[in-house]
Amino acid sequence: MTHTKRIYIGTLLIGTLIASAGCSNSFLEKPPTDAIVDANFYKTDDQVLAATALLYSKVWFDYNDKASYNLGDFRAGTAFSAWNDRGNVLFNTTGDTPENGTAWRSFFIVVGQSNLAIQNIMKYAGDGVSADVKRIALAEARFMRALAYRFLVMNWGAVPIIENNITLLADTTAQRNTPESVWRFITNEMRAAAEDLPETPLRPGRLTKWSAEGMLARFYLTRAGVASGGSGTRDQVFLDSAKYYAERVINLSGASLLNSYADLFLYPYDNNAESLFSLQWTYSPGAWGTQNSTPAYLAYSGDIANGDGWGGDKGATWWMISMYDGIKATEEGMEGRTLDQRLKATFMLPGSHYAEITQSIPGGKQELIFPFTGTDNNFLSVKKYVTGKAEDVGGQAASQNYGHDTYMQRLAEIYLIYAEAVLGNQASTTDPTAVEYFNKVRMRSGLPAFEDPLTLDVILKERFVEFAMEGMAWYDLVSLHYYNPQKAYDILNTQDRGLFFTVPNQMPSPTSWTFTKTTWFTERNITANSGNFLLPIPTAELSQAPNLRKPAVDYFNN
């Protein structure tokens, strides 16, 4: 078996689907164990639901672990690492960059597990399985497969669509499919999922019709650019579809914004009213792959962690800080303060106080006050998804083992999708509903209503701030690149990704900060262009699968 078949197939056949002797409503608390599935499985509703349970966690693990922020934030310029992950920070990701390979592998594992779930449910589901559960489980698998392909096509462009991993064992001719046909495929899949998923979750954290329709709003907004072929304008039919699905989710789903932005990331926040779909992680001592490991790499120090805390050189970029209202440019750098509560909830500035996190200090402990360190550089460390020590989360944390979920889509995005779909190809809009929805997101953060006409730059800025460190910014830039590549390059090439020094006006409880660039640090800017914008297919895949080098073909014409 070739290496590529191992990626597509071998990894997917080991522990193919999830077997559990007794899956109950607590499946998120005690994830079922892996087992090879045979014809004796799929005889009850519980067994069928167990078969799709790990599509919510384990198959996404390698992506969530470190690739999510390396691709979604480091490449986008919202955050950086000064000494590690430099290939992604400096926008020269190669076929050998670790996160490139792990993300590719993870997404194809999602595809393969989803394929096998579909095939086995169709083949083995017995009379003891209700028609509703069978329909919902198949829709869950189609949703996950479509979402994985959304990540694949946006990172690597043309990729092979695989619907049956078993037939691939005897077929070595599979080649890439055109981005346009991949987008058509995943939109069709998500529409089918939306038809068959329930309006309320079958069990806590499970997908609903509104999860799928929210993704359709996202898909159509992006696909409007794909259809334009880089012409600078977007396809109006797809913009209208994005608006249609966004409006349905806003008005019919029952989802609502949390009153406080910070509450989105305060333990326990899983499956809250704003979440449309989250990866479902569990604190799982003795197990691996069903827990959330990402906080281990984001927490700035072991002083606030659990034997990990390896994110000391990670933090907001200079460009990202400039996005927050109230931070103003000066002759020396930047200075000011912001009313935007999203800054404190996303990045830590010197003197910021976090009552929910315990900090070890010489001789004892205290509520976290982010320290003021350094003389000509320091880091505005990551706060989002960092929940602290085990004692801060009811004992549910250990080294590289956290139980809180990862957002894949929140209602806030749907409001901004609606606003952007209404804006469409116009230079600006004063549409009252679009402005209202935009301001629901903005004003939740503590900022006053935006009273000028909405423009694309305004909406993009709001998205960058709202979703920083949620692995979103890169995909916003890819969506832009589909129809206006030069604008995407201009955003990236004008960013500053270098070291800087942040000084509070007082310690503790500062009311403002000054920001000064570190003069001796030279790797501040990147060069993005058509030659390096998309990720290269991992080297190991190309060496073992020469068909990946062939021109892409339309999936629906082959």
Which SS3 state, helix, strand or coil, does residue 255 take?
A: coil
Instruction: Render pLDDT for 489-513 as a digit per residue (tens, 0 to 9).
Output: 999 999 999 999 999 999 999 999 9
User: What average pLDDT does range 267-278 have in this prediction?
Assistant: 97
| Percent above pLDDT 70 for the chain | 92
164 and 307: one domain? Answer: no
Instruction: Answer whether residue 455 is part of any domain.
Output: no
The residue range of the domain holding 15 is 3-188+535-557
9 and 132: one domain? Answer: yes
Q: What is the DSSP letter of 329?
A: E
Q: pLDDT value at position 9? A: 31
Q: pLDDT value at position 32? A: 33
How many degrees, rounded to 5, is the angle at CA 357 between CA 351 and CA 359? Answer: 70
- Whether the pLDDT of residue 13 is over 50: the answer is no
Q: pLDDT value at position 11? A: 32
9 and 145: one domain? Answer: yes
Q: pLDDT value at position 514? A: 98
User: What average pLDDT does range 275-301 have in this prediction?
Assistant: 96
Cβ-proximal residues to 257 (8 Å cutoff; 6+ apart), any chain? 273, 274, 411, 412, 415, 440, 441, 444
313 and 168: one domain? Answer: no
CB atoms within 10 A of CB 13: 17
How many helices (H) and strands (E) would you count in the chain? 21, 14
Instruction: Answer whether residue 64 is part of any domain.
Output: yes
Q: pLDDT value at position 39? A: 63
Q: Which of 373, 402, 431 is the last residue of a domain?
A: 402
Cβ-proximal residues to 286 (8 Å cutoff; 6+ apart), any chain? none
H helix or E strand, kind and range, residue 354: strand 353-361
**What is the CATH classification number for the domain harbouring 101?**
1.25.40.390
User: What average pLDDT does range 363-390 have in this prediction?
Assistant: 97
Q: pLDDT value at position 470? A: 98
Q: Which of 368, 385, 402 is the last residue of a domain?
A: 402
Confidence class for position 125, pLDDT limits 50, 70, 90: very high
Q: pLDDT value at position 37? A: 52
Q: pLDDT value at position 227? A: 87
Instruction: Answer whether residue 219 is part of any domain.
Output: no
- Whether the pLDDT of residue 31 is over 50: the answer is no
Q: pLDDT value at position 120? A: 93
CB atoms within 10 A of CB 511: 9
Of the listed ranges 215-224, 427-436, 523-532, 549-558, the least confidently predicted one is: 549-558
| Percent above pLDDT 90 for the chain | 86
- Note whether 82 and 499 are within 8 A (CB): yes
- Nearest CA to 476 out of 78, 3, 48, 34 is that of 78
Of the listed ranges 34-43, 315-324, 397-406, 456-465, the least confidently predicted one is: 34-43
Residue that the structure tokens 């999922």 belong to: 193
- Note whether 59 and 109 are within 8 A (CB): yes
- Whether the pLDDT of residue 21 is over 70: the answer is no
Residue that the structure tokens 């503590």 belong to: 446
Instruction: Render pLDDT for 308-350 as a digit per residue (tens, 0 to 9).
Output: 999 999 999 999 999 999 999 999 999 999 999 999 999 999 9
User: What average pLDDT does range 232-252 have in this prediction?
Assistant: 98
- The whole-model pTM stands at 0.93
Locate 105 and state its tokens: 């592998």
- Note whether 115 and 554 are within 8 A (CB): no
Instruction: Answer whether residue 233 is part of any domain.
Output: no
Instruction: Render pLDDT for 186-224 as a digit per residue (tens, 0 to 9).
Output: 999 999 999 999 999 999 999 999 999 999 999 999 999
Instruction: Render pLDDT for 468-483 as a digit per residue (tens, 0 to 9).
Output: 999 999 999 999 999 9
Instruction: Render pLDDT for 145-171 as a digit per residue (tens, 0 to 9).
Output: 999 999 999 999 999 999 988 777 556
- Whether the pLDDT of residue 19 is over 50: the answer is no
Query: Number of structural domains, the chain?
Result: 2
Confidence class for position 358, pLDDT limits 50, 70, 90: very high
Q: pLDDT value at position 20? A: 31
Q: Which of 360, 378, 402 is the last residue of a domain?
A: 402
Higher-confidence residue of 467 and 28: namely 467
Q: pLDDT value at position 29? A: 26
Q: How far apart are CA 94 and CA 100, in angstroms?
A: 8
User: What average pLDDT does range 360-389 have in this prediction?
Assistant: 97
Q: What is the DSSP letter of 390?
A: G
Q: pLDDT value at position 171? A: 61
- Whether the pLDDT of residue 239 is over 80: the answer is yes
- Nearest CA to 283 out of 272, 274, 296 is that of 296
Instruction: Answer whether residue 29 is part of any domain.
Output: yes
Q: pLDDT value at position 169? A: 59
Mean pLDDT for the chain overall = 92
How many degrees, rounded to 5, is the angle at CA 33 between CA 28 and CA 36? Answer: 135
Q: pLDDT value at position 211? A: 98
Locate 18 and state its tokens: 């999830």
Q: pLDDT value at position 229? A: 83
Q: pLDDT value at position 38? A: 56
User: What average pLDDT does range 120-147 have in this prediction?
Assistant: 96
Confidence class for position 1, pLDDT limits 50, 70, 90: very low
Instruction: Answer whether residue 539 is part of any domain.
Output: yes
Q: How far apart are CA 62 and CA 203, in angstroms?
A: 25
Instruction: Answer whether residue 57 is part of any domain.
Output: yes
Instruction: Answer whether residue 464 is part of any domain.
Output: no
Q: pLDDT value at position 228? A: 87
- Whether the pLDDT of residue 14 is over 50: the answer is no
Size of the chain in residues: 558
184 and 310: one domain? Answer: no
Q: pLDDT value at position 247? A: 98
